Chain A
Amino acid sequence: MVNVEICIGSACYVKGSSQVVNDLNALIKEKGWEDKIAVKGSFCMKACQNHIGLGIRINGRQIEGVTAQNAREILDRELSAALA
Chain B
Amino acid sequence: MSNMFTHESRQFKFDILVNICRQAFKGEVVEDDVQAYARNLVSLEGPRYRCCVYKEREVLRQRVRLAMGKMAREEIEPNPRQIIHVIDAACDGCSIKKIRVTDNCRKCMAKSCLAACRFGAIHIGNVRSEIDYTKCKECGACARACPYSAIVVTERPCYAHCPVQAISWDSNNIAVIDEKRCINCGQCENACPFGAIEDVSWVVPVIKAIKMGTEVYAIVAPSIQGQFENATIPQVLKSVEMLGFTKCEEVAIGADAVAEFEYQELAEHKKSGAPMTTSCCPGFVNMLKIHFPKLYKENKSTTVTPMEALARRIKRDHPDAGVVFIGPCLAKKQEAMEDYSVVDYVLTYEELAAMLISKGINPEEIEASEEEYPSVFGRNFAFSGGVAQAVAEAAKEHNDGPYTAFMANGAMECKKQLQIMQAGKFTFDILEGMCCPGGCIAGPGTISDAVQVKGRMAKENMTTDKKTIQKSLEIFSFDNVDMEVGTHAE
CB-CB under 8 A for A9 and B344, given A14-B69, A42-B214, A43-B322: yes
Interface residues of A in 31-46 (CB under 8 A from B): 39-44
Contact call B337/A41, Cβ cutoff below 8 A: no
Whole-angstrom distance between the alpha carbons of A39 and B213 in the complex?
11
When C-beta atoms are compared, the residue in chain B nearest to A21 turns out to be B208
Q: Mark B315-357, 1 if CB is under 8 A from A, else 0.
A: 0000011110000000000001101001011000000000000
Instruction: Name the contact of A14 in the complex, choosing from B80, B322, B342 (C-beta under 8 A).
Output: B80
For residue B396, give the distance in angstroms from its CB to the closest CB of chain A. Answer: 39
Contact call B212/A41, Cβ cutoff below 8 A: yes
Contact call B321/A43, Cβ cutoff below 8 A: yes
Q: Is B78 an interface residue (CB 8 A)?
A: yes
CB-CB under 8 A for A8 and B78, given A40-B214, A43-B344, A44-B344: no
Instruction: Name the contact of B344 in the complex, choosing from A10, A15, A22 (C-beta under 8 A).
Output: A10
CB-CB under 8 A for A13 and B205, given A22-B28, A43-B321: yes
Interface residues of A in 9-26 (CB under 8 A from B): 9-11, 13-15, 18, 21-22
For residue B82, give the distance in angstroms from its CB to the closest CB of chain A. Answer: 10
Q: Is B162 an interface residue (CB 8 A)?
A: no
Whole-angstrom distance between the alpha carbons of A13 and B207 in the complex?
12
Contact call A15/B339, Cβ cutoff below 8 A: no
Q: Is A69 an interface residue (CB 8 A)?
A: no
- Chain A contributes a number of interface residues (CB within 8 A of B) equal to 17
Whole-angstrom distance between the alpha carbons of A39 and B211 in the complex?
12
Whole-angstrom distance between the alpha carbons of A42 and B80 in the complex?
19
Q: Is A70 an interface residue (CB 8 A)?
A: no
Q: Chain A residues near B204: list those with CB within 8 A.
A: 18
Q: Chain B residues near A9: list those with CB within 8 A.
A: 322, 344-345
Q: Chain B residues near A22: list those with CB within 8 A.
A: 28, 30
Whole-angstrom distance between the alpha carbons of A9 and B341 in the complex?
12
Q: Chain A residues near B344: list those with CB within 8 A.
A: 9-10, 43-44
CB-CB under 8 A for A13 and B214, given A8-B209, A41-B209, A49-B339: no
Interface residues of B in 212-251 (CB under 8 A from A): 212-214
When C-beta atoms are compared, the residue in chain A nearest to B28 turns out to be A22
When C-beta atoms are compared, the residue in chain B nearest to A7 turns out to be B344
Contact call B337/A10, Cβ cutoff below 8 A: yes
Whole-angstrom distance between the alpha carbons of A11 and B321 in the complex?
17
Q: Chain B residues near A44: list those with CB within 8 A.
A: 342, 344
Q: Mark A40-57, 1 if CB is under 8 A from B, else 0.
A: 111110000100000000
When C-beta atoms are compared, the residue in chain A nearest to B323 turns out to be A43
Whole-angstrom distance between the alpha carbons of A49 and B205 in the complex?
20
18 additional A-B pairs beyond A39-B212, A40-B212, A41-B214, beta carbons within 8 Å, are A9-B345, A10-B69, A10-B337, A10-B344, A11-B80, A11-B337, A14-B78, A14-B80, A18-B205, A22-B28, A22-B30, A40-B214, A41-B208, A41-B212, A41-B213, A43-B323, A44-B344, A49-B339
> Which 3 residue pairs of A and B lie closest in terms of their CB atoms, listed nearest first?
A41-B212, A43-B322, A41-B214
